[in-house]
């Protein structure tokens, strides 16, 4: 009896302690729950509507009637059996990989430059980056059109004056490859400010004593960067890479406006342009919804590697 009496209070205290720990562990989830519910409500209905339209034949007639004709997965079958879709997908993946690579490499190099220059030069460069970041895409496209104009473009004039060749009346938008090349320069130029400022902020969190210890041990600058700096800023680089993939894979405004509607062909399609042409120009909204869902799945698959690495880093830290 005495043994049972001693056991009961001990079990009760352990149970109360367990419930207390469970309550403490639930606090973060309770704080995040309202945001999750609101975001689910905001994104859930549009996603549901997108899936519903993708399963319907939804043209201008159905748009007026506000009711589509259910056809199941035929829209997805039409897209997946379209050779233009697969060529466009491959072109977009290469285009996005080029943009992301250039943005991350150049952005990181500029951030390292900001660390080493004087304060007043850093302020000037940061102000210039902010101005670039604040420029609307439509305005940036007009600036680029003026720069690469074959008649009086400043780019042709500068290259000719610097004796890089005769660029008099050179047409930078003559071929699909050069068109996408110009779009790449525009997108990288517009994306650099965000990457540079974010990486520069991450570099300020690198412990100075670790860098000094590596330098005392005789490590060269590139070894210090690879062995000390990169491990510290890796989470930021992964986040920036994931965001860049999302932005560059679905780019539309810059490419469509810079190339121009009269020059849009299947040879210079990107996924955003392909979606617009199939869904809106051809007034086949069901097909456009199916393309949108496929793009969402593809981007999620492309980003899963970086998300898993971020989660793994979070478990380690």
Q: What is the CA radius of gyration of the chain?
A: 27
Q: pLDDT tens-digit profile of 126-141? A: 999 989 888 999 999 9
218: left (phi over 0), alpha (psi -120 to 50) or beta: left
| Topology (CATH level 3) of domain 76-316 | MetI-like fold (1.10.3720)
Residues shown for the chain: 317
Q: pLDDT tens-digit profile of 52-96? A: 999 998 988 888 888 888 898 999 999 999 999 999 999 999 999
Q: What is the pTM of this model?
A: 0.82
- Confidence band for 149, pLDDT divided at 50, 70 and 90: confident
Torsion 21-27-29-33 (CA) sign: positive
Distances (CA, A) of 178 to 142, 174, 259: 18, 7, 10
pLDDT of residue 313: 64
Torsion 202-207-210-214 (CA) sign: positive
Distances (CA, A) of 275 to 135, 175, 177, 229, 272: 26, 22, 20, 41, 5
- Per domain, the residue ranges of the chain are 2-54, 76-316
């Amino acid at each position: 009896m005495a043994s049972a009496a001693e056991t009961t209070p001990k079990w009760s205290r352990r149970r109360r302690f367990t419930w207390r720990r469970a309550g403490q562990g639930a606090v973060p989830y309770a704080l995040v729950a309202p945001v999750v519910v609101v975001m689910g409500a905001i994104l859930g209905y549009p996603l549901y509507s997108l899936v519903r339209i993708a399963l319907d034949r939804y043209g201008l007639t159905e748009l007026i009637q506000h009711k589509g004709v259910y056809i199941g997965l035929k829209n997805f079958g039409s897209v997946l059996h379209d050779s233009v879709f697969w060529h466009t997908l491959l072109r977009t993946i290469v285009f996005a990989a080029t943009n992301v690579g250039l943005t991350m490499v150049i952005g990181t190099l500029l951030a390292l430059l900001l660390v080493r220059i004087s304060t007043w030069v850093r302020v000037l460069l940061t102000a210039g980056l902010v101005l670039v970041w604040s420029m609307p895409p439509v305005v940036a496209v007009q600036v680029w059109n003026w720069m690469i104009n074959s008649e009086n473009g400043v780019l042709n004039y500068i290259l000719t004056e610097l004796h890089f060749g005769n660029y008099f009346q050179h047409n930078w938008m003559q071929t699909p490859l050069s068109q996408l090349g110009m779009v790449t320069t525009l997108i990288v130029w517009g994306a650099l400010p965000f990457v540079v400022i974010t990486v520069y902020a991450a570099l300020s969190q690198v412990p100075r004593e670790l860098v000094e210890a590596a330098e005392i041990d005789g490590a060269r600058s590139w070894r210090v960067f690879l062995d000390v700096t990169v491990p510290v800023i890796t989470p930021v680089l992964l986040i920036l890479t994931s965001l860049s993939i999302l932005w560059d894979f679905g780019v539309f405004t810059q490419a469509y406006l810079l190339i121009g509607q009269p020059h849009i062909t299947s040879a210079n399609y990107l996924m955003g342009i392909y979606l617009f042409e199939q869904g809106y120009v051809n007034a086949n909204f069901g097909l456009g919804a199916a393309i949108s869902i496929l793009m969402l799945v593809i981007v999620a698959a492309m980003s899963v590697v970086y998300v898993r690495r971020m989660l793994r880093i979070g478990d380690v830290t």
